[in-house]
Amino acid sequence: MFTTLLLASVLTGATLCPSAAANVVVAEDGSGNYRTVQAGIDAVPAGGTVSVKPGTYREVITVPAAKTGITLRGTTGKAADVVVDYDNASGTKKPDGTTYGTTGSATATIAANGFTASALTFRNSFDRKAHPEITATQAVAVKTTGDRMVFDNVTFLGHQDTLYADTAAVGTAGRQYYRACAISGDVDFLFGRATAVFDRATITALDRGSSPNGYLTAASTRRTTAYGFLIVGSKVLSPAASATFYLGRPWHPGGDVDAIAQVVVRETVLPAAIKPTPWTDMSGFSWKDARFAEYRNTGPGAGTGTDRPQLTAAQAATYTAQHYLAGGDGWNPVH
């Protein structure tokens, strides 16, 4: 591996130290080992670290399943300083004339187990208004399919389908912990079948100027999976008009009857933009057949009632970040 990296450094003019096989530096100004994030990912071995210096890196990146345990980190500690950005949408045409589709639109696709990211931003900057010819406007910033993944102080920017929190296959575990992250979007912008915890997150529901303006979640949790999405100790912000946003709807990919969404929003501040009846149907499937609940939320968008299922205190004790993430191996990244 080191020989390969040394040859690459000679060909690219990058500097390389003996420890670079496990730790590489990316800098768009040429002051690191590589100028692109993907080059750093390609070079680092499983378990290594890619440190990214400030800049906007306009590229599509992939972390393959074989790159287990790697860390991708911004060097300043500020997520806004390091931005990985591209602007493909589902309906964007590829060179061969076909379109990317939702999964293919992702700016970053991360398949590796044990992946960690910190202090950086992933953005899909697709602009609906600039491309009226594109009607399939799903535009993913990040698609994740790994297990035991941690995102710490990471920002996810997009509009429709910003964060696709998924698993590698039906029946495969995909536990993902998003700590102190910032996520923005409008339609179904937290979606997928992963077991994902959003802890102390700042979630911004953007204004599309319509009603409804959008949906925070569209989980597709498997019927046999106890835990889907947990939003806990977080804050939802929105410039949208009052009562124009749903907390979520149940996504059944391809009409799959065994995708039974599971979402809990607890101890989270909700804005006035949240509808008094915050859950809704999707593609003919009733939200009442999904596993939706709230617990001790606050703010002008919080409430109770027949259409706002609430956990009991006893139930709440089992719907915690630790319970969601433990799995069969007792994984506990929460702190």
Active-site residue list? 161, 188
DSSP strands (E only) in 95-192: 108-110, 116-124, 142-144, 149-157, 163-165, 175-179, 182-185, 187-192
Cα distances from 146 to residues 55, 105, 195, in angstroms, run 27, 18, 11
Looking only at the bridges linking them, the beta strands covering 262-266 and 229-232 are parallel
Task: Give the span between the Cα atoms of 178 and 182, in whole angstroms.
Answer: 9
Q: Both tokens of residue 307?
A: 């259409």
Measure CA 42 to chain center: 22
For residue 71, list its beta bridge partners.
49, 116
Residue 183's nearest CA partner among 167, 199, 194 is 199
Q: Which helix or strand (DSSP H or E) is residue 38 part of?
A: helix 37-43
Measure CA 306 to chain center: 31
- In the chain the first and final C-alpha atoms are separated, in Å, by 35
For residue 200, list its beta bridge partners.
none
Please give the DSSP secondary-structure letter assigned to residue 300. T
- Whether 219 and 248 have beta carbons less than 8 Å apart is answered as yes
Measure CA 266 to chain center: 19
Phi and psi at 330, nearest 5°, equal 75, 25
